[in-house]
Amino acid sequence: MSRQDPVADALTRIRNAQAVNHKDVIIPGSKVLLDIFKVMQEEGFIASYEEFLVDETKPAIKSIKVVLRYFKGKPVIETLKRLSSPGRKQYMKVDDLPMEKNGLGVVIVTTSKGVMTTLAAKKLGVGGELLVAVY
C-alpha cells in the first residue's frame, strides 16, 4: 500500500476504527503523527498513544498504537478533517488562524515552534500550515 499522505492515512484509520467501536488502532509511525497525537491527547480527544517497534530486527520500522476515547458509547471525536494535503498546502498568518466550532474543537497547525493548536500559535504570535481539524 502506497502512503503518499501519512496524516490523511492515519485520520482515515482512526475514523474507520471509531465507526466499528474499536478500542485502539495501529498506525504506521512518523514524527509528525507523534506530534499530532500528542496535541490530541493534551486536548482530550484520544486516551493515549505509544510508539513501538514492529520488528526487532528492523528498528527503523515503527508504528503507533492510538487508544481511542468514547463517552457513553459514542466516540469523543465527531469530525476529523485533513486541512492541507501534499498537493495543496494551506498556510495562514497568525491573524488568520481559524478557531474550530467556536472554540469547542481544535485546529492543529505546524509552525516554526512545533506542532500545536491554533490557540497556542496565536499566543506565541506565529502562523503556519494547517494540518488537522478535530471536534
pLDDT at 38 exceeding the cut of 50:
yes
- In this prediction the pTM is 0.93
According to the model, what pLDDT value does residue 1 have? 47
- Can you tell me the mean pLDDT for 30-56? 95
* Domain-located, residue 73: yes
117: CATH: 3.30.1490.10
* Domain-located, residue 64: yes
Q: pLDDT, tens digit, for every residue of 60-107?
A: 789 999 999 999 999 999 999 999 999 999 999 999 999 877 778 999
Residue 103 has what DSSP assignment?
A: G
* Domain-located, residue 19: yes
Q: Rounded to an integer, what distance in angstroms lies between the CA atom of residue 135 and that of residue 48?
A: 17
pLDDT at 46 exceeding the cut of 80:
yes
pLDDT at 36 exceeding the cut of 50:
yes
According to the model, what pLDDT value does residue 60 have? 79
Continuous segment of H or E residues that includes residue 63: strand 58-68
Domain limits for position 119: 6-134
Q: Rounded to an integer, what distance in angstroms lies between the CA atom of residue 112 and that of residue 103?
A: 23
Structural domain tally of the chain? 1
pLDDT at 132 exceeding the cut of 50:
yes
Q: What is the DSSP string of 27-81?
A: EE--HHHHHHHHHHHHTTSEEEEEEEEEETTEEEEEEEEEEE-EETTEES-S-EE
Using DSSP's 3-state secondary structure scheme, residue 36 falls into: helix
Q: Rounded to an integer, what distance in angstroms lies between the CA atom of residue 14 and that of residue 9?
A: 9
Mean pLDDT in the chain? 93
